[in-house]
C-alpha cells in the first residue's frame, strides 16, 4: 500500500494510505471542500428526512457581470452547484433534491435545490444551479473559480493534456458516504482517449445524444456521476507529482458514468446478454460546463441584476454633513454700516450733459 501526503480538514499535513495510488502522489485535500453530495428526499418527508444519496456535485464561482475573478475561495460572485444532468433529470416526481455539505467542525447541512432551478446544457450531460450559502451556519465549503474550467479545446490541448495524463476524481462512495460528516473519496486514473469524436451517451432516462466525451481509465459506479475531474499539467518542480489547490490546475470535466460492454452468458442451453464494466468511464468536457455557466441567458441576466443591485447599495448616501450648503455671507459689522451710510449720503454733482439737457 502506497502513501500520499495531503491536507486534512483541519489544515494539518497528514500521511494517508491509499491503495493503488502512485507513489508520492500528493493532493491538496482542500479539493474535497469543493465537493458535496446530492440527496433525494420524499416530498412528504421534508427537509428533516435523511434521504438517499444519488450523485456528486461541486462548487464553481462566477463573478458578477460575468467577470472571472481567479480566487480559490472567492466570495463576492455567485456560487453554482455543478453535476451530471441525468442525476437531476432522473429525480422521481415525488422526490426533492438537496445538496449536503459539511459544517465547520462536524455535522452536515442540507440545502434544497429545486429541480426547476437547474439549468441544463442544450445537448450534453451538464446541469448547473445557483446556490446561496446560509449566513447563520458556518459551512466548510470552498469554490473552484470558473477560470479553472477550460475555455474551448485549446484550453486543454494548449496545456499539453493528452492520453496518459493522470487525473484525480473527488466524489461519492455511497457504501461509505460518512456518518458525522460527508466524506468524498479521492481516486486517480488516466485519460484513455481524448474527445476526438462524438460518443453516444444517455443524457436522461431513455434519451440519447452524440456528444464530446473523454474516455477515462478508471472504475466508475453510481454516485460518482457529477464528480469533478482534475488535472495538473504543469507539475510542481519541487515535487512533480503534486496537485496543489493554489497552483494552475484544470477541471477538465465531470464524470458521466461507466462504459458498459455486452457479454453473452451461457445458461444450460440458453444464452443471455448482460452488461459488464469495462474499467473505462465516460467524462463530459469542462468546456461544456463553462458554456452553461457563462452563456446561459437566464444566468447572465441574474448576474447582471445582482451586479446592478450591488452598485446601488454601494452608492454614497447623503447625510446632513455631506450635503453642500451655500456659503454664508460674512457678518455685518459696524464698519460695514458706516461705509454704506457714507455711500448713500454723499452729495451728487450733476454732469455737464445733464445741465444741457435741462
Give 114-141 pLDDT, tens digit per residue. 999 999 999 999 999 999 899 889 999 9
Residue 135 lies in a domain: yes
- pLDDT digit string (tens) for 180-193? 999 999 988 999 99
Whole-number pLDDT of residue 172: 94
Q: Judge whether 346 lies within some domain.
A: no
Task: Examine residue 341 and state whether it is found in any structural domain, yes or no.
Answer: no
| Residue 159 belongs to some domain of the structure | yes
User: Coil, strand, or helix at residue 16?
Assistant: strand
Cell triple for 200: 453516444
Q: In what order do the strands lie in the sheet with 13-18?
A: 13-18, 2-7, 26-27, 242-243
- Please give the backbone phi and psi of residue 355, each rounded to the nearest 5 degrees, phi first: -65, -40
Q: Which residue has the cell 477541471?
A: 251
Q: Can you give the pLDDT at residue 305?
A: 84
Q: In total, how many domains does the chain have?
A: 1
Tell me if 350 is assigned to some domain: no
pLDDT at residue 56, as a whole number: 97
Categorise residue 257: left if φ over 0, alpha if ψ from -120 to 50, beta otherwise.
Answer: left
The per-residue pLDDT string of the chain (358 residues; one tens digit each, 9 = 90 and over) reads: 333 333 333 333 333 333 443 444 466 778 899 999 999 999 877 667 889 999 999 999 988 754 444 343 344 578 999 999 999 999 999 999 999 999 998 899 999 999 999 999 999 999 999 998 998 899 999 889 898 899 888 888 888 888 988 899 999 998 899 989 999 999 889 999 999 999 999 888 889 999 999 999 986 677 899 999 998 775 545 555 555 555 568 899 999 988 755 555 666 667 665 555 568 899 999 999 999 999 999 998 888 888 788 777 777 665 666 556 666 666 666 676 566 656 655 555 555 555 454 4
> Is the residue at 35 inside a domain?
yes
Q: Is 292 inside a domain boundary?
A: yes
133 with 78: CB under 8 angstroms?
Answer: no
Confidence at residue 88, expressed as pLDDT on a 0 to 100 scale:
97
Q: Which domain holds residue 69?
A: 2-313
Residue 356 lies in a domain: no
User: pTM for this one?
Assistant: 0.74
Amino acid at each position: 500500500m502506497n502513501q500520499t501526503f495531503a491536507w486534512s480538514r483541519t489544515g494539518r499535513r497528514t500521511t494517508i494510505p491509499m491503495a493503488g495510488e502512485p507513489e508520492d502522489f500528493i493532493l491538496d485535500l482542500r479539493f474535497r471542500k469543493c465537493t458535496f453530495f446530492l440527496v433525494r428526499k420524499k416530498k412528504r418527508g421534508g427537509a428533516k428526512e435523511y434521504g438517499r444519496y444519488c450523485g456528486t456535485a461541486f462548487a464553481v464561482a462566477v463573478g458578477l457581470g460575468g467577470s472571472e475573478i481567479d480566487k480559490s475561495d472567492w466570495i463576492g460572485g455567485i456560487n453554482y452547484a455543478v453535476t451530471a444532468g441525468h442525476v437531476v433529470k432522473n429525480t422521481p416526481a415525488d422526490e426533492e433534491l438537496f445538496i449536503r455539505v459539511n459544517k465547520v467542525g462536524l455535522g452536515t447541512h442540507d440545502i434544497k435545490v429545486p429541480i426547476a432551478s437547474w439549468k441544463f446544457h442544450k445537448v450534453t450531460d451538464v446541469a448547473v444551479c445557483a446556490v446561496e450559502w446560509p449566513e447563520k451556519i458556518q459551512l466548510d465549503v470552498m469554490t473552484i473559480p470558473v477560470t479553472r474550467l477550460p475555455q474551448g479545446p485549446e484550453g486543454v490541448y494548449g496545456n499539453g493534456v493528452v492520453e496518459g495524463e493522470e487525473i484525480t476524481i473527488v466524489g461519492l462512495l455511497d457504501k461509505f458516504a460518512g456518518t458525522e460528516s460527508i466524506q468524498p473519496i479521492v481516486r486517480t486514473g488516466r485519460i484513455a482517449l481524448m474527445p476526438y469524436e462524438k460518443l453516444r451517451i444517455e443524457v436522461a432516462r431513455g434519451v440519447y445524444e452524440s456528444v464530446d466525451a473523454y474516455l477515462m481509465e478508471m472504475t466508475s459506479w453510481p454516485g460518482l456521476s457529477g464528480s469533478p475531474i482534475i488535472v495538473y499539467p504543469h507539475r510542481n518542480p519541487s515535487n512533480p507529482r503534486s496537485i496543489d489547490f493554489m497552483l494552475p490546475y484544470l477541471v477538465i470535466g465531470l464524470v458521466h458514468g461507466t462504459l458498459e460492454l455486452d457479454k453473452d452468458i451461457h445458461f444450460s442451453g440458453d444464452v443471455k446478454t448482460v452488461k459488464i464494466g469495462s474499467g473505462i468511464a465516460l467524462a463530459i468536457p469542462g468546456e461544456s460546463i463553462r458554456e452553461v455557466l457563462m452563456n446561459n441567458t437566464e444566468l447572465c441576466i441574474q448576474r447582471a441584476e445582482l451586479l446592478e443591485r450591488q452598485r446601488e447599495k454601494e452608492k454614497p448616501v447623503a447625510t446632513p454633513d455631506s450635503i453642500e450648503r451655500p456659503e454664508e455671507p460674512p457678518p455685518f459689522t459696524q464698519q460695514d454700516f458706516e461705509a454704506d451710510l457714507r455711500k448713500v449720503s454723499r452729495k451728487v454733482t450733476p454732469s455737464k450733459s445733464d445741465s444741457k439737457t435741462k
